Amino acid sequence: MSAFYALLFTVAFLVLVIGLAKKIYQYSRVPAPLKIPVTPAPLTKGGVAVRLAKEAILFAALFRSNKWTWLFGWMFHMSLFVVLTIHLRYFIKDVPEWLVLLQPIGKYAAFTMIIGLLGLLVRRMFVARVKYISSPSDYLWLLLLLVIGLTGVTMRFISHTDIISVKEFSLGILSFNWQTLPMDVPLLVHLFLVAILMILLPFSKLLHIPGLFFAPSRNQVDNPREKRHIAPWAAELEAEKNKMQPK
């Protein structure tokens, strides 16, 4: 069983990294032939960085759009970020002090994460407009994340697992020196679902993570009059046009 999990995580990690890299490569390779930032847009690259940061960190557009969705969505994402960060201790041999200090705050982030997910799920089930646009996979993602969160909380507060062994196991995967994993049900469920999530991420709507940064509507500088913007395939069409020059 431990070997299965070790293998599963090795595969999951590879799928995640390669899948995501392929997708990011694809996004970067497809040209954006025209300037289409949604205006008012920043006039400089620095401004674009600020615009994207506001979207990635504060969910600025969503805040403007719908306060409830923003509240639950932002709560979930920020909590997930904290939770992921405190999990770093399973991958770093000598845990740095800041990470130790973060642990007590971090353990409550699991609750805000679950509340956020529940809010999003309720909204998806009961707001007619959102229900209309939802596919089974949209519900399953929320359920998957909820179960991951709940099993995590279970291990932290109810049925403790041997985290020292878990750490040996995770460090073991990194160094290809597989170790035994404690055979606790919540842990096995937790880890299995995390692996599933890692494997499916590059093939799902979780591609919104890189997608956010590749949206030309948000990542372009507003300078079309000053700077000529031309895509490679558009350059081919250029040749013909360049015959037309003022006499």
Partner 1 sequence: MADFETPKFREYPVVPELKPDAMAGDGPFVSRAEYDEDLGYPGEMPENWKEKTLDKMQDLLGRYRSFQVFMDSCIKCGACTDKCHYFIGTNDPKNMPVARQDLMRKVYRRYFTFAGKFFPKLVGAVDLTEDVLKEWFNYYHQCSECRRCSVFCPMGIDTAEVTMAAREILAHVGYGQKYSNQIIQKVYKIGNNLGLPGPALEGILEDLEEEVEEDTGVPVKYNMDKEGVEALLMTPSADFFAEPHIDGLIGYGKVLHELGITWTVSSKASEAANFGLFIGSYDNIQRVSMRIREAAIDLKVKRIIFGECGHAWRVAYSFLNTLAGPFDFLDQNYPVPQHILEVTYGAIQEGKLRLNKEENDHLTMTFHDSCNVARASRMGDKPGGQFDIPRAVIKAACNNYVDMDSDTIKDATFCCGGGGGLLTDDLMELRVKGALPRMEALKKVTDEDGVTNVAAICAICKSQFTKTLPYYGFEMDAIMSVHQLVSEAIVMTGSEQEKELDGVEEEAKDTEE
Which spans of this chain sit near partner 1 (rule: CB under 8 A)? 23, 26-27, 30-36, 38-43, 55, 59, 61-62, 64-66, 69, 73, 123-124, 127-130, 132-138, 140, 200, 203-205, 207-208, 211-212, 214-218, 222, 224-225, 227-231, 233-234, 237, 241, 244-247
Helices (H), the chain: 2-29, 45-53, 60-65, 67-86, 97-126, 128-132, 136-153, 163-174, 185-200, 208-214, 216-219, 232-241
Nearest CB to partner 1, comparing residues 186 and 202 = 202
Nearest CB to partner 1, comparing residues 91 and 203 = 203
Minimum separation from the CB atom of position 97 to partner 1 (A):
35
Nearest CB to partner 1, comparing residues 58 and 185 = 58
Nearest CB to partner 1, comparing residues 105 and 122 = 122
Minimum separation from the CB atom of position 5 to partner 1 (A):
24
Minimum separation from the CB atom of position 247 to partner 1 (A):
8
Minimum separation from the CB atom of position 153 to partner 1 (A):
24
Nearest CB to partner 1, comparing residues 61 and 92 = 61
Residues 6+ apart with CB under 8 A from 221: 37, 41, 42, 43, 44, 45, 47, 48
C-alpha distance from residue 109 to each of 99, 115, 151 (Å)? 14, 10, 14
Residue 212 CA to residue 55 CA, distance in Å, equals 8
